[in-house]
Chains A and B, each alone.
Chain A
Amino acid sequence: DAGITQSPRYKITETGRQVTLMCHQTWSHSYMFWYRQDLGHGLRLIYYSAAADITDKGEVPDGYVVSRSKTENFPLTLESATRSQTSVYFCASTLAGSPSGANVLTFGAGSRLTVL
């Protein structure tokens, strides 16, 4: 199906373990993003990517690693998970360069990660 899909939707892991959250979009959107959502903080940008092999840090990048070898995939890896990384993670994508400036982000359904 067309759209943006995240997997897994739910994940429980232990402190110190590596975890990878997957994000796949079928629109060939150039830009992709990872946000985390925590109570009282809204959504905060972790990393984003303007195109394949181009990534950049957002507001809260520490403890996370991303890659983008293909336009459609943008995995997020927690190399050594900590309890503070318990959160809901959203992947999003958008085309760039809309003449009106309204490059609306389309979000995946979210991945709920619990680190014990």
Chain B
Amino acid sequence: AQKITQTQPGMFVQEKEAVTLDCTYDTSDPSYGLFWYKQPSSGEMIFLIYQGSYDQQNATEGRYSLNFQKARKSANLVISASQLGDSAMYFCAMSERGNQGGKLIFGQGTELSVKP
């Protein structure tokens, strides 16, 4: 069965520093997608970044990058130059085969706090 694990319930980072949020996954399907979402204290779910299982290069979106290590089944989110507005809950998620249906399985989340 597919599973997503985020082992860091909470993390602190100093403003302007980089931080890595861990995510490991388990699937026997060779075709899958990996997503990161941000949930600020206001509650909305904001899409950050996507990585497909066949993508050769790590995905990047502005200050966000996804460190995709297929053999280790990890998809860590790296946030560079942290800002106070990055304080939020972060969820890693995985899609099923080909993501044709968009159905996502989520991890438990990591709460990131950025210190000034």
Contact = CB atoms under 8 A, between A and B. Distances in A.
B103 A101 contact: no
Contacts of B102: 31, 33, 94-96, 103-105
Nearest to B47: A104
Interface string A41-67: 111110010100000001100000000
A104 B50 contact: yes
Interface stretch (B12-20, B67-75, B80-88, B105-113): B105-113
Contacts of A58: 103
A42 B33 contact: no
Contact of A31 (B31, B47, B50, B101): B101
Given A31-B102, A42-B91, A43-B106, A101 B33 contact: yes
B57 interface: no
Given A43-B91, A103-B101, A105-B47, 12 more contacts: A33-B102, A43-B104, A43-B106, A44-B106, A45-B103, A94-B102, A101-B52, A102-B50, A103-B33, A104-B35, A105-B102, A110-B44
Interface of B: 4, 6, 31, 33, 35, 43-45, 47, 50, 52, 91, 93, 95, 98-109
5 contacts: A42-B6, A45-B103, A90-B45, A101-B31, A101-B98
Interface of A: 31, 33, 35, 40-45, 48, 50, 58-59, 88, 90, 92, 94-98, 100-107, 109-110
